[in-house]
Every structure is written in C-alpha cells, then in structure tokens.
C-alpha cells in the first residue's frame, strides 16, 4: 500500500479541504477551519456545528473514560440509530483511541452475541427500545454470559465528563501500513457467521476521500444521511463532511413522504444513497405535480444495490442534477469504483464508474486467466481502502489471491475505458436494500425446522430493493409448511427481520447436481418474477 498519509495531505490540500492522519485529528482541524459551519441537521430540528461537535465528543469521551474505562485499544460494540449522538459517539471513541465496532440496528441477539464475543467487546452500547424492539433486554441477555462486558443504554444522551481529565492523545505511527486497527465492521457473506473486517482510520478515510472527489463535494453541499449510520458508508459520509465542511441532513429512519420533504426544506444538493431512496424521491416529485422538489440538487449518490438504468434518466429529467453517481465496493473494500459527476449519461446509467485513485482492478476469468476488457470475470482489488485481513485470520487465505488482490466474489466487466459493470456474484449472498444476507445462514436455520426436508435460499430481482430472498423448500412427507410458519420460526431464532425470506416456494425436491450442490441457477430461472407464483410478506 502506498503511504496514504502523504497522498491524503496532497489530495486534500489541492482541493482546499482539511486532511489529517487520524479521525480525531480530522475533527480537530475541521473545528478550527470552520467552527461555526453546521455539520449535522436532524429532522427533529436539532443541529450541531463543527466546533460544537468537537466539544461534544470531548465531553462524551471523558464520560466513557471515567465511567466505563474506555481507552486506547478498548473494544466497544455499539448499535444505535442514525442520531447526532451516534456521530458524537464515533468522535468520542476516536479521541480515546478505542477499537469501535458499529452494528447495524437490524442485528439481533444471535448476531450480537457472536460479534461481541469474537471482538472481545468490553462495552456494548444500545438504545432502550427502537422501532418496537427492546434492545436493552437483548443487550443484557447477551451480557449475562460475559461478565467482563458492560452494557450502556443510550437514549439521546451519552455519558459526560470533564475533558481536562482525558489522557493525552497517543502519537501515530509514521507510515499508513502501521496504523492501528480502529474499526471492526461485520459483514454477512458466504459464511454462516458474520465476518469482522479490520479497518484503520486511513482505510476508511481513503474511501471517503474517493467519494468526495468523485462527487466534487464542497463546503456548500448539503447531503442526505438517510440510511443506517453504522454502515461503513455512514462513517465514510461523516469523514467526507469533515474533509469538505459540508452539512449532513440526518434522519433516524427514512420515510418516503416526510424524508423527501425534510431534504427539500433544507436545500439538499446530494440526495443519496441507493435505489430505494431514489425511487422515493421520484415518487415524491411525481406526486408534487410541480417544480423540482430539490431545486438545488447536484447529483444522487448511489450504491449498495443494483440501479435500473432508466432511473438515472428519470431523476435527471424530472427533478434535476446530473443524475445517479453510483459507486461499488464492499465492507472490506469500500468505494473502490465510482462514477464522476462529469461522466456521460450512458456511463452513469449503465456502469458503476472507473476505479478510484490508488485502486488497481484485475478481472479473473473462471479458468483463472486474466480477462481482457469487455470479458466477464471475478473482480479482484488492491487499494488504500482495502483491509489487510479479517479479525479471524483463518478467513484471509480465501480472501486474498497469491498477488495480494482481494477476491470480491463479484462478477463484472471492465470496458476499454476502465468503467466497471457488476454482472453477478460468485458468493452465495443476496443483497437486499444494500444489506448482505447470507443464504447459508438462513438455510442452516430452516434445516432445523421439523417440517423441512431440504431448502435453498435464492435471490430474485426486485425493482425496489435490488433483490429479495426467496426460500425454496421441500417438506417432509405428511408435513405442512407456510410463509407464516417460516417467518415465526426464524424470528424465534433471533434472525434479523431483513434476512427473513419474503417469498416461499414449495417444491417436491430441491434440485442438486451429482456432487450434492444445489442448482440455484435453475431455481432462479424457475421463480424469476415473470413466472413467480409465490407469496411475499
């Protein structure tokens, strides 16, 4: 990896942005550069300046240090909604040098127990009740088996202390390759259990900087932060705001009616962040029947799920701006590919853009040879935002090839101009609204149902969510199995709601090849939307 510290300084200085070798230093420098500019504005009416943000982070850091002994290298798992307090928590933990592990609020006891155990979390931070789920009870239940892990229940408030009591900030290593692991982001992939991707401040900064450059961000931008902040993309948007001095519009939960109105009221210029959101904006525009609902719009950042090419043209024509500017990446390697605001419509609509600065892509055909431009193969990556490995090192051998390229597991084509189109996946996962769903995880749970003889979980195209999960089940003789029973069974096993299949198809037998591998391509062909007769939740 190139020395990203020097590269960061050059690229941010050239644009007049603030750059720094750590997240905390970035917070400090931005507070000095534009103290009174607004970092975040909530749909509750609350807002916070960059200077106010720094001070709130220091107060919370002091409280976490005094009350919970959080310090350098302390492992902290936290599962909070998209609140201003969540942004403050990130900064507070950065000031303390903790290793933080943001958890998506869809995770339930099963995943949280595994993750906090593997990461050796000494503190788990959750809300009391959020969207009808009792996170506090879940957290205390998880902690029952872990006497060394404390639970902190947060509802719009964080611990407070005197910043004068904080320890000194430890000096950083000279080279990017020696930067400490500050982030654990868990992703559900082909394995039944989530995988902990180890990131440094600099690897996440690399993705944030790439995104900011591709979107041509500046201090006058107003960006929609309307998806779960605990995604690596959420942390990336915070860093991009600190780089550029722009404002984030924050909403706890996206609502297709009220959220577009909130964004419009505050002159949004960057309306992200993926197909479901973009569809809601378009629907709001068509319902308004008048002038553009976003008169200051510049672009619609995208990613996480496939985009219908026509959606790019519709947004551009009906609301304004340059259209969808989407990117591609993984939790392990965010924003390795992204379009630019000046790219032509055909590229914006049909591709995810070219590799971002410092990223090298190779396409490997199924026979192991390098695929030439225009030929499909597995996308493999190197770059400053790619992790050096997983928390479980046994996963690394399969994750990287002999040349050190990360195996994305995604199939794609790189054209002669370097633009990337993702065409499919080698990994057996389903991406619904940008969330990875492990087919194996759900299959393993359903196999335990007494009525199930065999099961396959497949992804089917969905215009709103990118994909939906479909359970194809062969039942045992004389047994009955319904969609309602499946949902109830999986909820009882603490599977997050977003991973529960929305469709059930009953078949006499699940097709397999002689080696026993399920022929999922045949099932996808059979139950594609045009021929689907299943029921959905």
Predicted pLDDT at 534: 46
Q: Which pLDDT does position 308 carry in this prediction?
A: 80
Non-local CB neighbours of 104 within 8 Å, separated by 6+ positions: 79, 228, 230, 231, 435
- 327 and 303 in contact (C-beta within 8 Å)? yes
Tally of CB atoms within 10 A around 531: 8
What integer pLDDT is reported at residue 274 of this predicted model? Answer: 86
343 near 353, Cβ under 8 Å? Answer: yes
Dig out the tokens for 455 from the structure: 């099961």
- Rounded to an integer, what is the distance from CA 286 to the centroid of its chain? 29
The C-alpha angle with vertex 214 and arms to 282 and 34, in degrees rounded to 5, equals 95
Distance, in Å, from the CA atom of 381 to the CA atom of 362, rounded to the nearest integer, reads 7
Over its length of 537 residues, how does the chain's per-residue pLDDT go in tens digits?
Answer: 457 778 888 999 999 999 999 999 999 999 999 999 999 999 999 999 999 999 999 999 999 999 999 999 999 999 999 999 999 999 999 999 999 999 999 899 999 999 999 999 999 999 999 999 999 999 999 999 888 999 999 999 999 999 999 999 999 888 888 999 999 999 865 556 889 999 999 999 999 999 999 999 999 999 999 999 999 999 999 999 999 999 999 999 999 999 999 999 999 999 998 888 998 999 999 999 899 999 999 999 998 766 788 899 999 999 999 999 999 999 999 999 999 999 999 999 999 999 999 999 999 997 899 999 999 899 999 999 999 999 999 999 999 999 999 999 988 899 999 999 988 777 677 888 888 788 888 988 998 899 998 899 999 999 888 899 999 999 988 999 999 999 999 999 999 998 999 999 999 988 876 445 688 888 999 998 864 444 444
DSSP state of 291: S
Domains and CATH numbers, the chain: 4-253 (3.40.50.12780), 429-536 (3.30.300.30)
Token pair for residue 41? 């504005």
Alpha carbons 248 and 237: distance in angstroms, whole number: 8
Rounded CA-CA distance 150/8 in Å is: 37
Q: Shortest CA distance to 120 belongs to which of 441, 397, 496, 392? A: 392
- Three-class DSSP category at 17: coil
- In angstroms, the CA 408 to CA 388 distance is 14
Please give the Cα distance from 301 to 312 (Å, whole number): 11
> Quick one: pLDDT at residue 189?
53
CA distances (Å), origin 357, targets 137, 232, 299, 338, 441: 45, 19, 21, 10, 35
Q: How far apart are the first and last CA of the chain?
A: 46
Q: Are strands 99-102 and 75-78 parallel, antiparallel or unpaired?
A: parallel
Bridge partners (DSSP) listed for residue 40 = 48, 248
Burial class (CB in 10 A: 0-12, 13-18, 19+), 257: exposed
Q: How many whole angstroms separate alpha carbon 421 and alpha carbon 376?
A: 9
What six digits make up the tokens of 344? 């032509």
Structure token pair of residue 457: 């979980």
Residue 86 near residue 157 (C-beta atoms within 8 A): no
- Contact predicate 68/150, CB 8 Å: yes
Contact 209, 243 (CB under 8 A): yes
Distance CA 223, CA 91 (A): 19
Give the pLDDT of residue 528: 85
Give the span between the Cα atoms of 445 and 257, in whole angstroms: 36
Structure token digits, residue 53: 């943000």
pTM: 0.87
Peptide bond into 273 cis (omega under 30): yes
Written in H, E and C, the secondary structure of 385-446 is CCCCCECCHHHHHHHECCCCCEEEEEEEEECCCCEEEEEEECCCEEEECCEEEEHHHHHHHH
Residue 516 has phi, psi (to 5 degrees) of 95, 0
């Amino acid at each position: 990896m190139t020395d990203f510290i020097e590269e960061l300084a050059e690229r941010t200085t050239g644009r007049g942005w603030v750059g720094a070798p750590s997240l905390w230093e970035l917070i400090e420098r931005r507070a000095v550069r534009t103290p009174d500019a607004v970092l975040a504005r909530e749909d509750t009416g609350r807002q916070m300046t960059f200077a106010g943000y720094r001070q709130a982070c220091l107060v919370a850091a002091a409280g976490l240090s005094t009350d919970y002994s959080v310090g350098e290298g302390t492992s902290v798992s936290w599962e909070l909604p998209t609140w201003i307090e969540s942004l403050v928590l990130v900064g507070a933990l950065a000031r303390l040098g903790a290793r933080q592990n943001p958890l998506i609020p869809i995770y339930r006891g099963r995943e949280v127990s595994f993750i906090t155990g593997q990461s050796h979390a000494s503190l788990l931070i959750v809300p009391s009740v959020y969207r009808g789920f009792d996170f506090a009870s879940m957290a205390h239940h998880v902690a029952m088996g872990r006497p060394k892990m404390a639970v902190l229940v947060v509802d719009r408030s964080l611990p407070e202390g005197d910043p004068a009591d904080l320890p000194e900030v430890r000096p950083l290593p000279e080279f990017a390759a020696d930067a400490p692991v500050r982030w654990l982001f868990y992703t559900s992939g082909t394995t039944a259990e989530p995988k902990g991707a180890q990131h440094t401040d600099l690897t996440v900064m690399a993705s944030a900087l790439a995104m900011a450059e591709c979107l041509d961000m500046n201090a006058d931008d107003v960006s929609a932060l309307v998806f779960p902040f605990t995604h690596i993309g959420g942390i990336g948007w915070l860093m991009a705001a600190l780089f550029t001095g722009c404002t984030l519009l924050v909403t706890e939960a996206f609502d297709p009616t009220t959220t577009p109105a909130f964004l419009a009221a505050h002159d949004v210029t960057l309306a992200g962040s993926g197909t479901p959101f973009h569809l809601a904006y378009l629907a709001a525009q068509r319902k308004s029947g008048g002038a553009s609902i976003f008169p200051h719009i510049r672009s619609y950042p995208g990613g996480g799920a496939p985009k219908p090419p026509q959606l790019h043209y519709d947004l551009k024509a009906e609301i304004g701006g340059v259209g969808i500017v989407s990117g591609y990446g993984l939790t392990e390697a965010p924003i390795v590919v992204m379009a630019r605001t000046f790219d032509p419509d055909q590229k914006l609509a049909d591709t995810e853009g070219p590799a971002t600065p410092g990223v090298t892509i190779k396409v490997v055909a199924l026979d192991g040879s390098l695929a030439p431009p225009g030929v499909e193969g597995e996308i493999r990556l190197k770059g400053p935002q790619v992790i050096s490995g997983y928390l479980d090192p046994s996963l690394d051998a399969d994750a990287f090839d002999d040349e050190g390229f990360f195996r994305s597991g995604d199939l794609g084509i790189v054209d002669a101009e370097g633009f990337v189109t993702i065409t499919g996946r080698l990994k057996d996962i389903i991406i619904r609204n940008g969330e990875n769903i492990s087919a194996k995880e759900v299959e393993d749970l359903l196999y335990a149902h007494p009525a199930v003889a065999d099961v396959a979980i497949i992804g089917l195209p969905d215009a709103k969510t990118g994909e939906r999960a479909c359970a194809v089940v062969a039942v045992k003789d004389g047994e009955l199995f319904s969609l309602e029973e499946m949902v109830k069974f999986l909820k009882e096993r603490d599977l997050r709601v977003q991973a529960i299949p929305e469709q059930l198809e009953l078949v006499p037998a699940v097709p397999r090849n002689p080696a026993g591998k399920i022929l999922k391509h045949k099932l996808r062909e059979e139950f594609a939307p045009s021929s689907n007769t299943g029921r959905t939740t």
